[in-house]
Chain A
């Protein structure tokens, strides 16, 4: 159920996600050292183009990677294929993009 195109998309999205996860965790640990409040964190992230681009790319990578991974699992365990499988893949991708997009805009937009 994976052709070369989906395979490369999943590998390349993983390639991006690796550093994103490490940076996300490292900054989180660093930021709370002095006991930052939610308000103080939002004060730093809201209006920041850098954090918007960082988390926007993170969400895109996660949405693509997860949708393709779940596509394989659903096909092999439930036997779904063809149009139904493609619809499910796209639905998962769009739902994750929407949810992630909402979170990113809430944290980084003024």
Chain B
């Protein structure tokens, strides 16, 4: 390595569910370098035991989210130049999720809550029925479409202070999924969705701090979706008592 290559001081969290600490690595800076490039370089050149998760490398799969300088980010599409603090980088596993090892978190609590929030399609037709035509300009469809680009990366879940303080809280991504389905003309159990998000961990716990909307890499707004669920559940409560 030539002397002219600039070396970055990269602190990587190492450990498992029982605890851990930051380990420092010197990594050569390059043009057009992403955080995932940095982590991969360390794993390939300095410590083959470093554990992390990624798949597509182009911002579609939602696998590679980590805390970068204490902010949740998709590492495959975060350029080093954008976040380098002087000469330092800190990379840690996602907040609010149990750690498996090093930078890889256990995503089960995150996805379990999608199911708890009834984030599953409830069919209104059978395979023998004609395909339902959906007007893309209808207000409900427009509202539903605002949330469908979610890549399940869990960045909003890691950014959410309500999740940090209330482990039962379903979280922004699951609730946004519920709101999407609630507005989908093809979903047959809207009351079931409202019931699922009205429990002790439901949408009413959101303090509207907006970290989810600030940090979403796809510029989605789960806070707005949650506000929609609050309105819908309040109307349902006043009309039906639940």
Q: Is the CB of B233 within 8 A of A1?
A: no
Interchain Cβ contacts within 8 Å, total number: 37
How many angstroms from the CA of A1 to the CA of B236 in the assembled complex? 20
Interface residue? A3 (CB, 8 A): yes
Known: A76-B162, A76-B165, A76-B166. A2 touches B237 (CB 8 A): no
Residue among A3, A8, A75 making CB contact with B202, cutoff 8 Å: A3
Q: A4's closest neighbor in chain B, by CB? A: B198
Interface residue? A77 (CB, 8 A): yes
Interface residues of A in 69-94 (CB under 8 A from B): 72, 75-77
Interface residues of A in 1-45 (CB under 8 A from B): 1-8, 11
Interface residue? B77 (CB, 8 A): no
Q: Is the CB of B204 within 8 A of A75?
A: no
Interface residues of B in 192-242 (CB under 8 A from A): 198-200, 202, 204-205, 230, 233-234, 237-238, 242
How many angstroms from the CA of A72 to the CA of B166 in the assembled complex? 9
Q: Is the CB of A1 within 8 A of B234?
A: no
Q: Is the CB of B198 within 8 A of A1?
A: no
Main secondary structure of the interface of B (DSSP, over half): helix
Known: A8-B234, A8-B237, A76-B162. A1 touches B168 (CB 8 A): yes
How many angstroms from the CA of A4 to the CA of B202 in the assembled complex? 8
Interface residues on B, range: 10 to 19
Interface size on A, residues (CB 8 A): 13
Binding site for B on A (CB under 8 A): 1-8, 11, 72, 75-77
Binding site for A on B (CB under 8 A): 162, 165-166, 168, 198-200, 202, 204-205, 230, 233-234, 237-238, 242
Would you list 16 pairs from A and B whose C-beta atoms are within 8 A, ordered by A residue? A1-B166, A1-B168, A1-B200, A3-B198, A3-B202, A4-B202, A4-B204, A4-B233, A4-B234, A4-B237, A4-B242, A6-B204, A8-B234, A75-B166, A76-B165, A77-B165
